[in-house]
Amino acid sequence: MNTTAQAQTATKSSAALNQLEQLRKFTRIVADTGDFALIREYAPEDATTNPTLILKAAQKPEYQALVARVIADGKKASLSGDDIYRALLVAFGVEILKIVPGRVSTETSPKISFDTEALIAEALGFIERYARAGIGREHVLIKLASTWEGIQAAKVLEKEGIHCNMTLLFSLAQAAAAADAGAKLISPFVGRILDWYKKTTKKDYAPAQDPGVLSVREIYAYYKKFGYPTEVMGASFRSKGEVLELAGCDLLTISPELLGELKGSTDPVPRKLSVEMSQDFKLPRLSLDEKAFRWRLNENAMATEKLSEGIRTFASDAAKLEDYIAARLG
């Protein structure tokens, strides 16, 4: 077969793959859901959870047996409602790890997002619960809000071999501080950045000019140029177009709805991010102590507002899940 024929064969072979299969060639796919059936359907390598996702899953009929078991075990052990809440998060994580080969992210309480010591204590408690279930810490990512206190908690935990996923991340300042702290992974929120800009500017944005997409590209380039090992996982997508504009990112955590759209199309998926593409990045390396971090975050209205809003939203859904557990206990 001559070179032209080989190229044509390769093109046809690539075209036969759906977009999800093409994306897997250069990006690790993560499911953004707590629904076991959907995780099985899309076969991601990792899965992420948060209070909102677990609240949604816990109320589905197919998971009532799991919830009932956790509550019954908690009552038998005379656990508080807060401890049963944590046990439920871990129980979902354990079940998810029976499906995915990699890691599950379990989120610390939003209420302690500004308390480093409390975050460390809760993370250690999660790791202990996973260990009792036979799950090694290499399969768990502790999710921490990207506050200064959360980043300092990650610094301590990473030194103990407990890997962290920095969530609610909206700015380069947060990303730079998380990388300097040695965080294993960050989750910049693409769609929530877009939401803010659309509301503020009253404009729509094409995927290539999407402010959330541009933010992740900047963070990815910063990490690759300066050799940080911290993984970048784009999150909180509003459209398939946003996902495809970040093809090549280390990881992407994608909702089942968008995973379905990717699976249903065979259009080509060109790579948009790579280490080589990052070498021309112009921004200098940042060195941020607490004062510099807080100032840069304060100067970024979008990041300041979305971080606060995100913590409030997760806290509200965590409270609803706690109320749900309390009602079942009562």
The one catalytic residue among 98, 143, 159, 199: 143
Q: Are 324 and 55 in contact (CB under 8 A)?
A: yes
Helix H or strand E encompassing 174 = helix 172-180
Joined together, the tokens standing for residue 326 give 């309390």
- Joined together, the tokens standing for residue 89 give 């998060």
Asked if 158 and 164 touch (Cβ cutoff 8 Å), the reply is yes
Among 173, 138, 187, 131, which residue's Cα sits nearest to residue 158? 138
Measure the CA–CA gap between 314 and 326, rounded to whole angstroms: 18
Under DSSP, the state recorded for 139 is: G
Q: Which of 63, 87, 62, 84 is nearest to 75 (CA)?
A: 84
Structure-token match 């944590």, residue found: 86
306 counts as catalytic: no
Can you read off the two tokens belonging to residue 106?
């379990």
Using an 8 Å Cβ cutoff, are 102 and 46 in contact? Answer: yes
Max CA distance (Å), the chain: 74
- Work out the number of other CB atoms within 10 angstroms of the CB of residue 96: 26
Give the residue numbers marked as catalytic: 143
